[in-house]
A = this chain, B = another copy of it.
Amino acid sequence: MAIDANLKTRRLGIDTYQELVVYLRSECHVCKSEGFEAQSRIELRRDGKRIVAILNVVHFDLLEIDEIGLSEAAWRALGGIDGDLVQLAHAAPLLSFSGVRAKIYGRPLTADTSRAIVADICAGRYSDIELAAFITACSGGRMDVAETTGLTRAMVAAGQRLHWDDALVVDKHCVGGLPGNRTSLLVVPIVAACGLTIPKTSSRAITSPAGSADAMETLAPVALDVASMRRVVGREGGCIVWGGAVALSPADDLLIRVERPLGLDSDGMLVASVLSKKIAAGSSHVLIDIPVGRTAKVRSAGAGAALAARLAAVGQALGIAVKVVLTDGEQPVGRGIGPALEARDVLAVLQNAPGAPGAPGAPGDLRQRALMLAGAVLEMGGKALPGQGLALASGVLASGAAWRKFQAICEAQGGLREPPCAAHTHVVAALHRGTVVAVDNRGLARVAKLAGAPKAAAAGICFEAPLGTRVEVGQPLFTLHAESPGELAYALAYAESQENLFTIQSA
């Protein structure tokens, strides 16, 4: 219900990380007459635009008595300029949250409930703690196939949906959890070079040191709008852009802002996140890479199979062909962990860089994984007979056709660029000799994040001692890269406090 009161907006410049927050003076007549207090949910109206924000009450003269302060996110959502008049209203009660509460108490999430929840999330009506409760309630294996299907469908419906001239549109996705596994940047050019349509939208990192969009961004612009993305795909057959910028499954990006600090990324949410993006992107066939390893996101073949079954079942319910490949997830892929370092590995593979003393060549494991996945996509897309995809992919990479396609895609996206280098590095060496028999993926990912990845694009780890490496005392295990000395020291202190990043067995 609207209140007969207009307040002047004031952009306060406070970055609350996507949560919409507004600020009112406690003595403000609207606060008093309406009983607004800290954490009240308030609707703002300007020019027919409506947003719902959480109130922080201000006790001093940060604001004039007739002003309403806006956080950066609220400012973006409402639009307008400083001093605009806005009308306030009591926000409607968040009725869809009763569906979250029901889920917490063990009742299933119905399709209608999912639709209402996702619509409210997209309208910015969920506060961060409400998002946290929803994510937690859906984590830990508490979503069945029907619930996941309903949530996925609701997430697709909440955003735009792309359609392509070609009826056959392929895609690939990795569920993550394996540092350095940047195969998308290789699969897209190989597959596109063979004539398939592969409009790849990638996410930024959720809990990892880099997502494909983060790594690609060090090589070319990724925040393309739909029109630009269409132009790139029309010209080159493929693209690698950030999904968040094209408003596909927008709820997913809002959920990520809370999943990331909580470090939660559950099966049901993961399936809904992945498939909603793929369906909204207009894909007909998707290959999904699930790395399995003791310290990967998926820790056992059993868990991998369960996730694969969930993906296939939800895909079938929603009319998209899903093929799942379980891959080895015992150690990081390639050498780089962090956006720019991973991009450098990708360039080395695309350029067929030979090894040389002091200058290691293209990482063989990254190359092999990418070729295997590209081969499978080529088979799904009918460009190779079953069993012949790998050979086709290998030829396209070896001939330089994939590298040419990648350059063309980067140019079409806005121009190929050189990934940044970190200002500060530090080598972490072996303390005793022996053979590397285990690597803690999560620990290394954490070190890379403490060093600044993914926000600091050049930050991360260069991993130099894969499983089976025989190391001498003092031989490098990995090199830390950071953009600031503080982050370098912080990451190093954490790395030195962890005894099991590498398990080295004496001969």
Interface residues of A (CB under 8 A from B): 1, 3, 11-17, 23, 26, 32-35, 37-39, 56-60, 62, 72, 90, 93, 97, 101, 104-106, 127-133, 135-137, 139-141, 258, 261-264, 266, 452, 455-456, 482-487, 489-490, 493-494
Residues in B whose Cβ lies below 8 Å from that of A17: 38-39, 56
16 of the cross-chain contacts (CB-CB < 8 Å) are A3-B486, A13-B58, A13-B59, A14-B23, A14-B56, A14-B57, A35-B456, A101-B264, A104-B136, A104-B140, A105-B139, A106-B140, A129-B129, A133-B136, A136-B136, A137-B140
Residue of B nearest to A453 (CB): B35
In Å, the complex CA distance between A132 and B128 comes to 9
Contact A12 B60 (CB under 8 A): yes
What are the 5 closest A-B residue pairs judged by CB atoms, nearest first? A13-B60, A132-B132, A136-B136, A13-B59, A129-B132
CB distance from A480 to the nearest CB of B (A): 13
In Å, the complex CA distance between A39 and B455 comes to 13
Residues in B whose Cβ lies below 8 Å from that of A130: 132, 261-262
Contact A35 B132 (CB under 8 A): no
Residues in B whose Cβ lies below 8 Å from that of A266: 104
Contact B104 A1 (CB under 8 A): no
Contact B139 A104 (CB under 8 A): yes
Contact A38 B16 (CB under 8 A): yes
In Å, the complex CA distance between A456 and B105 comes to 31
Residue of B nearest to A139 (CB): B104
Contact B135 A1 (CB under 8 A): no
The residue that A136 contacts in the complex, of B35, B62, B72, B132, with Cβ under 8 A, is B132
Residue of B nearest to A63 (CB): B13
Residues in B whose Cβ lies below 8 Å from that of A62: 12-14, 62
In Å, the complex CA distance between A143 and B17 comes to 33
Residue of B nearest to A13 (CB): B60
Residues in B whose Cβ lies below 8 Å from that of A59: 13-15, 72
Residues in B whose Cβ lies below 8 Å from that of A484: 32-35
Contact A15 B135 (CB under 8 A): no
Using A17-B56, A133-B133 as known contacts, list a sample of 13 further A-B pairs with CB atoms less than 8 Å apart, ordered by residue number in A.
A13-B60, A15-B38, A15-B56, A15-B58, A16-B38, A34-B484, A34-B487, A35-B456, A39-B261, A101-B264, A106-B140, A130-B261, A132-B133
The residue that A105 contacts in the complex, of B56, B60, B141, with Cβ under 8 A, is B141
- A34 touching B104 in the complex, CB below 8 Å, given contacts A129-B129, A136-B132: no
